[in-house]
Amino acid sequence: MSVTDKFLSYIKISSPSDEESQSCPSSACQLDVAEFLKNEMTAIGLSDVRVEKGYVYGILPATEGYEGKPCIGFIAHMDTAPEFNGWDIKPQLIENYDGGDVLLAGSGDVLSPEDFPELREFKGHTLITTDGTTLLGSDDKAGIAVIMQAVEDVIKENIPHGRIAVGFTPDEEIGRGADLFDVEGFGAQFGYTVDGGLPGEIEYQNFNAYSAKITVNGRSIHPGSSKNQMINSQRVAFEFDSMLPSFEKPEYTEGFEGFFHLTDTDGSTEKTTLHYILRDHDDEKIVQKVNLMHDIAAFLNKKYGKELVNVETKESYKNMKCQILPHFHLIENARKAVEMAGMVPKDVAIRGGTDGARLSFMGLPCPNLATGGMNFHGKYECNTKENMEKCTETVKNIIRLYAE
């Protein structure tokens, strides 16, 4: 099987995670993926293959004479994002893609390079898209396919290697992928998640992340007799939101620019709640964002002469950069591996989080490698055969480099 064949076999198994569930994994369908991978890992020759609490682990023992080389781990996640339909995925394969518009036959939508200019770079590739009714699952089943193909190639091609650890996690898309990961049992000194974007991209800086809940208490009075009496909590909430920086929102930011994102609201005259996520790569700037919310609440409470606005903030995850810098050989070798695969390496900021970010703080330094895909979490998600092959070659090159 090729990396493309592997990918297509994995996306046949639906596996959206469920943020409403408290079980691990959050959806039983992820266990179907885990069992499938367990059998495949055993079949290609990995040892100590096991499924524990929905996590899949396996080992490729070191080549004789290479036992003293570092043990490198490769990790991807089995769930797909719950934000868009991930059930009964029907991919479209377009061989020798001409670089133009692609009709998504199930929905009638069009995947166009006018909207997504990167598509033009895929001209001549075998393009893999959705049919418009589901996401594709390239995030992160392309990552699984890349790891599995790389390990299988290492075995078949007798490429000398140190000990290789392989791990697949559930529930990454709902922020729980590293919750029960057995770092000690995994046994790797260093690792890479394979959960990124276009070939050649290397990620070791993710957002610092906070969540914020704003509660605004008002006073509901019959509107016919409410003069100087009513306090409409919704209007105060709107005022709070308007005092945040206008251009520090996801739709206006990119790269290393942080943001305030209002995710949902629930309100009435009497009480309104606002939920935000706060993101910034810079350690000081994320603290400034948190402090600004508290300052706005204090200003409004002073303005109205009442304790109307309450702010609760909670840290979600941290930028892994500080954990990676002491082990910068991970990035240097990733760059070399990309160059060996005929590409120009590109350091990219992760505008989100990964299992690797959390694992880095759990004692497993773990930057992120590309999967080849783009437009994750929606109907316009796509990847190519050639992209996944380049990503596979990158992983194989990393294995070669750590065996030197």
- Catalytic residue (one of 140, 172, 203, 280): 172
What are the helix (H) ranges across 183-340? 183-186, 233-242, 283-304, 321-324, 329-340
Q: How many residues does the chain have?
A: 404
C-beta of residue 174 within 8 angstroms of C-beta of residue 18 = yes
- 18, 40, 79, 173: the active-site residue: 79
Report CA-CA distances (Å) from 301 to 167, 245, 260, 290. Answer: 50, 19, 21, 17
| Angstrom distances, CA of residue 95 to CA of 9, 89, 98 | 18, 19, 9
Judged by DSSP in three states, 30 sits in helix
Helix, coil or strand: residue 92 = strand
Instruction: Tell how strand 55-60 and strand 47-52 pair up.
Output: antiparallel
Chain Cα centroid distance, residue 146:
16
Residue 169 in contact with residue 181, Cβ under 8 Å?
yes
Give the span between the Cα atoms of 381 and 3, in whole angstroms: 18
Helices marked H in 102-246 — which ranges?
Answer: 138-156, 183-186, 233-242
| Coil vs helix vs strand at 333 | helix
DSSP of 357-383: HHHHHTT----EE--S-BSTTSTT-EE
Residue 172 appears among annotated catalytic residues? yes
- Establish whether 79 is a catalytic residue: yes
Structure tokens at 319: 């930028």
- DSSP bridge partners of 56: 51, 168
Active-site positions? 79, 172
